Amino acid sequence: MAEWQQQLILVAAMTATVLSWDGYLFSIADRPLRIFWRFAIDILLVFIYMVLLMTSKLLVWWLFIHALIFTLYAIWDFLTVYDWLPKYYYRTPEGTSQTIRGVYIGGLRNSPDVSRGPIITIVWGLYFWALYFLNDWMPYWFNVSGLRDRIIGTTLFVVLGLYFYRSDKIKRYSMCRRLGWVAVLLGAYAASFLKWIPTDQTLWNLVGSHIGSASCGP
């Protein structure tokens, strides 16, 4: 079972890595690097993705690393807004000025005047931190098994989070819809701790003897 858990963690890590190229290349084409700290975060993320892939066998590290990556995304977005502020305004309403604060407030309010990109990153970053903290709190609250026995379900919700994050970047959901998806996903994940979704050991008891090394002779 541990081998299959490790492979699923690796699949989630590779999905995050590949999807990051798409978002980065699109952003850098329109807003090239002009300040050092954006470049520094880029280099740091390369090493963090490498660590994420290399530590797939450590079943309790990877979820924290996903959340950390989104924190760095949010900082990178802030620095990009600072560096390319006019790019984040589609138009400036009469009597107002272009400010970093205005970009974030406008994103929260679904304003058609500003880009929602930075707010999208923050909201989905909070989703990944919520996944991480749920794995810390739920076992204590409900006296249930923790992350080591919930790798299969957790990787599913990580991949779903990555998918909806990238979809949100393209389609620009409203804040209500964005928060709705986050609530639905987190609610479903929390339900897994109440045994509404089978644990890894339960699933392995059903299929383990038919797949992988468990089906092979000595």
Q: What is the pTM of this model?
A: 0.89
Distance of CA 154 to the CA centre of its chain: 12
10-residue block means of pLDDT along the chain (218 residues)?
89 92 85 94 95 87 94 97 94 85 95 94 97 80 72 92 95 96 93 74 79 54
DSSP-assigned states of every residue in 109-156: TT-TTB--HHHHHHHHHHHHHHHHHHHHHHHHHHT---GGG-HHHHHH
Plot region of 156 (φ>0 → left; ψ -120 to 50 → alpha; else → beta): alpha
pLDDT at 218: 44
pLDDT at 196: 66
Dist. CA 132–CA 136, nearest whole Å: 7
